[in-house]
Amino acid sequence: MALEMTTDTLSAVDTTVSAPPAVSPDGETLKMRGRDVKVFYGDKQALHGVDLDVRKNRVTALIGPSGCGKSTFLRCLNRMNDTIDICRVKGDILLDNDDIYDPRIDVVELRARVGMVFQKPNPFPKSIFENVAYGARIHGLAQSKTDLEAIVASSLQRAGLFEEVKDRLDEPGTGLSGGQQQRLCIARAIAVSPEVILMDEPCSALDPIATAKVEELIDELRQNYTIVIVTHSMQQAARVSQHTAFFHLGNLVEEGLTNDIFTNPKDQRTQDYITGRFG
């Protein structure tokens, strides 16, 4: 019932449902578009008008020195900033053709479409099964127990975790290793069939092997999802992303194909950052 209502409100806003999707100059579909995004924490401005497009079925990496506003921008994309009292967001962010900050948009529905994976793996203190089933339950995605089991299994499979945990689905998710926990969190996000997955430094708490697995996974997920990832590792950005955006002091300095950014940066600050001169 609740779900139906939210879909209604969404389509009510979405008067241009049949409008053609926005397209980039080079012909790629734009899944999300940020226009002049400004973010304030109290009196302090953290983003000074960012214009950034997120391309469909691509991995977009956000890089930049600590405190430059990468997480802040990422959190704007599914309105996680709403949970911070003092945070205000100005400008427009469009998901397909819907303005996600439109007051008529239901943030619950939005977050089902734009999922998030956090820096530190944060499985719920529940069983592995319940962790993955959580989103499906609250959104009423499964009609029956078999439905739910199918959703859990396929999500775990897509997250590359199924083989490792299929015999202990009822053990606590907190008992897994760090890398497994992070993939569990990714499975949990996938289970609600989002269109976009946001990842804030998903590998920063993992060892190299677990990191490699998650990176591999991100590359596979690109087939079905649009991914935005924040990372501090140039190598990681180069390995997993097709597009890269470089932030500095709350400004978007440069964005473009990952290859171009890393081999031929236009801005001196980008050059300095990727060659490790600051940051």
Partner 1 sequence: MFWTYAALLLLVFVTANVYGRFRAMQMAGNQLSALHSRPSYHGGYLAILAVLPASVLLIVWAVIEPRLLNTLVINANAQLVEGLYKPELQAFLRDARAIAFGGIVGFSDAGKEQAAEVFASLARISFYLKTTLILALVAGGLWYGNRSIHPAMRARHFVERTVMGLLILCSAVAIFTTIGIVLSLIFESLMFFRKIPIMDFVFGTHWSPQSAFEGAGADHGETNTKIFGAIPLLVGTMLITFIAIMVAAPIGLLSAIYLSDYASTPVRAIAKPVLEILAGIPTVVYGFFAALTVAPFIRGWGESIGLSVSSESALAAGLVMGIMIIPFVSSLSDDVINAVPQSLRDGSAGLGATKSETIRRVVLPAALPGIVSALILAISRAIGETMIVVMAAGLAANMTVNPLEAVTTVTVQIVTLLVGDQEFDSAKTLAAFALGLLLFCITLALNIFALRVVKKYREQYD
Ligand X SMILES: Nc1ncnc2c1ncn2[C@@H]1O[C@H](COP(=O)(O)OP(=O)(O)OP(=O)(O)O)[C@@H](O)[C@H]1O
Binding site for ligand X (CB under 6 A): 41, 46, 64, 66-72, 84
Rounded CA separation 197/112 (Å)? 10
Tell me how far CA of residue 268 lies from CA of 104, 185, 273, 275, in angstroms: 42, 37, 9, 11
- Shortest separation between residue 270's beta carbon and ligand X, angstroms: 15
- Shortest separation between residue 109's beta carbon and ligand X, angstroms: 25
Q: Which member of 139, 158, 183, 222 binds partner 1 (CB under 8 A)?
A: 139
Note the helical H segments in 14-120: 70-76, 107-113
φ/ψ of 211, rounded to 5, equals -60, -45
Polymer length of the chain: 279
Is 71 a binding residue for Mg ion by CB under 5 A? The answer is yes
Per-residue binding letters, 116-135, with partner 1 (x by CB under 8 A): xxx-x-xxxxx-------xx
φ/ψ of 89, rounded to 5, equals -120, 130
Q: Which member of 10, 13, 165, 185 binds partner 1 (CB under 8 A)?
A: 185
* Start-to-end Cα distance in the chain: 49
Q: Identify which range of 45-53, 71-79, 141-149, 215-223 contacts Mg ion by CB under 5 A.
A: 71-79
- Shortest separation between residue 179's beta carbon and ligand X, angstroms: 20
Chosen from Mg ion, partner 1, ligand X, none, partner binding at 46 (C-beta under 5 to 8 Å by type): ligand X
Assess contact for 234 and 277: CB atoms under 8 A: no
Cβ-based neighbour number of residue 46 at 10 Å: 19
Note the helical H segments in 47-113: 70-76, 107-113
- Shortest separation between residue 257's beta carbon and partner 1, angstroms: 29
Is 83 a binding residue for partner 1 by CB under 8 A? The answer is yes
Is 258 a binding residue for Mg ion by CB under 5 A? The answer is no
- Helices then strands, counting H and E runs in the chain, come out as 11, 10
Q: How many residues bind partner 1 (CB under 8 A)?
A: 30
Chosen from ligand X, Mg ion, partner 1, none, partner binding at 265 (C-beta under 5 to 8 Å by type): none
Q: Contact positions toward Mg ion, by CB under 5 A? A: 71
Q: Contact positions toward partner 1, by CB under 8 A? A: 78, 80, 83, 85, 107-112, 115-118, 120, 122-126, 134-135, 137-139, 174, 185, 188-189, 192
